[in-house]
Amino acid sequence: MVINQYTYSKMLIKEHNFLVPLDYDNEEDKKISIFVREIVDEEYGNKGLPYLIFFQGGPGYESPRPITNSGWIKKASQKYRILLLDQRGTGLSTPISQESLSGMDDEGIAKYLTFFRADNIVRDAERIRDNLIKDGKWSVLGQSFGGFCATHYLSFYPNSLDQVFITGGLPPLKAHPDDIYRATYKRVIEKNKLLYKIFPHAKKNARRIADHLIENKIHLPNGDQLTIERFQQLGLSLGFSDGMATLNYLFEKAFINKDLSYSFLKNVLSLQTFDTNPIFSILHESCYAQNFSTDWAANRILGEFPEFEIDRKDEIYFTGEMIYPWMLDKYQSLAPFKKAANFLAKKSDWPMLYDEQRLKNNKVPIAAAVYTNDMYVDREYSMETASIIPNISIWETDIFEHNALRSNGEKVLDSLFSRVI
């Protein structure tokens, strides 16, 4: 159902709301809403362009909100009617938050959250496709975790797809998170080394902040304690094109009169979205799970890498996007999910996300960007997946980082579109 229409920055925009089942195996039970923002360039609005549905990275993040007609949206909206999908539980789709789940017991929360992985996100997309174009096909653009969704789509609904574009998101098909985190921790270590090579003063500044946090109990503006482990989680930014510079400039003005400044603490709070987007924290490891439990893989594997120990006197190393059980105690907004998260970490009967045999018989044209130094989606696993899928064209580059679709979107889509269009 179209709920809004307007023109902004030379973009024709329609906003849709769809009701879908929470559980597609029990369609008569609870319904949730899915929000989609449709965008087409004003110049091309009457040309009957085909649809391109966008799967955002995450898991647990809503689609981008276009401020101007620029970047990848400008490029894609000249060839497609873009559908910016707020994946279930995010944005304006029935949200997951401590407020929205109040009143549920821990077991109920855990069961509810099992319906928010890539498999049901793609089922939502199929329901929307059927509503908009009936038996017609459309194309998919998947960024990061969105590429995981696109690969699931190729595994289970290939006949619905015209073309598929993936940026930094070709997933490992069968790997256990233990091995995935062994690979990505190594990438994070290299990013730390690069940070200190590019910004030598950042090493001293970060160590000073870390020492201050060890010696003092510091609270962020929302009341959460800024522990040294939470400080290390700022490393989530290291894999973005602007992340190292952002952290360097944050650290250099951290202190005023030997105390951490309000400005520094507020910026730390703003940079961390583990609690404002709880799906990311609670289901992050589960997005890899297929008939096995994850059992807090990142936390267990961390001990294999002494580089991240906090008592290293010369430097402090930052972690990446890894999720740890202590977060359910230290992030007050995540605390209501603690028991449910522990239940999900032990769950071993997660359904399969990929059909390797069907992928080996793929006929859908695919173009995928693989970033050589990607900190979040390991290059080796991506290339292994690409090696078994026919009709795929890989563009590998060491020039761009994981967020290239956002930072250099027109260049990325130019390269991918040229491979299949």
Select which of 16, 212, 284, 402 is catalytic. Answer: 402
Q: Span 2-174+354-420: which CATH code? A: 3.40.50.1820
Cβ of 357: how many Cβ atoms within 10 Å? 9
Q: Encode pLDDT of 130-148 as tens digits.
A: 999 988 999 999 999 999 9
pTM: 0.96
**26-30, 53-57, 306-310, 330-334: segment of lowest average pLDDT:** 26-30
Instruction: Check pLDDT > 90 for residue 394.
Output: yes
Mean pLDDT of the region 247-254: 98
Average pLDDT over residues 158-176: 97
The domain spans of the chain are: 2-174+354-420, 177-346
pLDDT reading at 387 higher than 90? yes
- Cα 302 from Cα 285, distance rounded (Å): 14
Indicate if 144 belongs to the active site.
yes
33 phi/psi in degrees, rounded to 5: -100, 145
Out of 93, 139, 144, 281, which one is annotated catalytic? 144
Task: Grade residue 351 by pLDDT with cuts at 50, 70 and 90.
Answer: very high
Identify which of 133, 178, 168 has the alpha carbon closest to the alpha carbon of residue 148.
168
The mean per-residue pLDDT over the stretch 51-76 comes to 96
Residue 56 has pLDDT above 90, yes or no: yes
**Nearest-angstrom CA–CA distance, 86 and 122:** 12
Q: Cα–Cα distances in Å, from 227 out to 3, 253, 261, 400?
A: 44, 19, 16, 32
d(CA 40, CA 317) in angstroms, rounded, equals 44
- Given this model, what pLDDT does residue 98 score? 85
Rg (CA), the chain: 21
Mean pLDDT for the chain? 96
Looking at the predicted structure, is the pLDDT value of residue 345 above 80?
yes
Contact present, 13 and 69 (Cβ < 8 Å): no
- Pure H helices in 78-199: 106-113, 118-133, 145-156, 177-198
Contacts of 202 (CB under 8 A, 6+ apart): 195, 196, 244, 247, 248, 251, 252
pLDDT mean over 245-261: 97
Q: For position 281, what pLDDT does the model report?
A: 97
Do residues 164 and 421 lie in contact, with contact meaning Cβ atoms separated by under 8 Å?
no
pLDDT at 285: 97
Residue 1: pLDDT band with limits 50, 70, 90: confident
pLDDT grade for 312, boundaries at 50, 70 and 90: confident
> Token digits for 376?
């979040």
Catalytic hit among 25, 29, 311, 349:
349
- Residue 420 burial class via C-beta count within 10 angstroms: exposed 0-12, middle 13-18, buried 19 and up: middle
Asked if 224 is an active-site residue, the reply is no
pLDDT at res. 352: 97
Half-sphere exposure of 70 (CA within 13 A, CB side): 5
CA 404 to chain centre: 14
Report the pLDDT value the prediction gives residue 44, as an integer from 0 to 100: 85
pLDDT band at 360 (very low <50, low <70, confident <90, very high): very high
Please state, in angstroms and rounded to a whole number, the distance separating the CA atoms of residues 21 and 33.
9
Mean pLDDT of 352-366: 98
- For the cut 80, the answer to whether the pLDDT of residue 282 exceeds it is yes
In whole angstroms, how far apart are CA 138 and each of 59, 148, 293?
22, 17, 34
pLDDT of 318 higher than 80: yes
45: confidence class by pLDDT, cuts 50, 70, 90: confident
311 vs 316: CA distance, rounded Å: 8
Q: Answer whether residue 102 shows pLDDT above 90.
A: no
Share of the chain above pLDDT 70, in %: 100
Stretch 308-319: mean pLDDT:
90
In whole angstroms, give the CA distance from residue 376 to residue 392.
21
Q: Using CA of residue 291, residue 116, residue 177, residue 175, what is the dihedral sign?
A: positive
Q: Please list, in sequence order, all residues whose beta carbon lies within 8 angstroms of the beta carbon of residue 389, skipping any fewer than 6 positions away.
A: 154, 359, 360, 362, 366
Q: How far apart are CA 255 and CA 282, in angstroms?
A: 33
C-alpha distance across the termini of the chain, in Å = 31
* DSSP type of residue 56: P
Nearest to 265 by CA among 257, 274, 253: 253
Q: For residue 200, say if its preceding peptide bond is cis, omega within 30 degrees of 0.
A: no
Q: Coil, strand or helix: which one is 394?
A: strand
Tell how far CA 158 is from the center of its chain.
23
- What per-residue confidence (pLDDT) applies to 31? 96
- pLDDT band at residue 180 under the 50/70/90 scheme: very high
328 phi, psi to nearest 5 deg: -70, -10
Structure confidence at residue 28 (pLDDT): 87
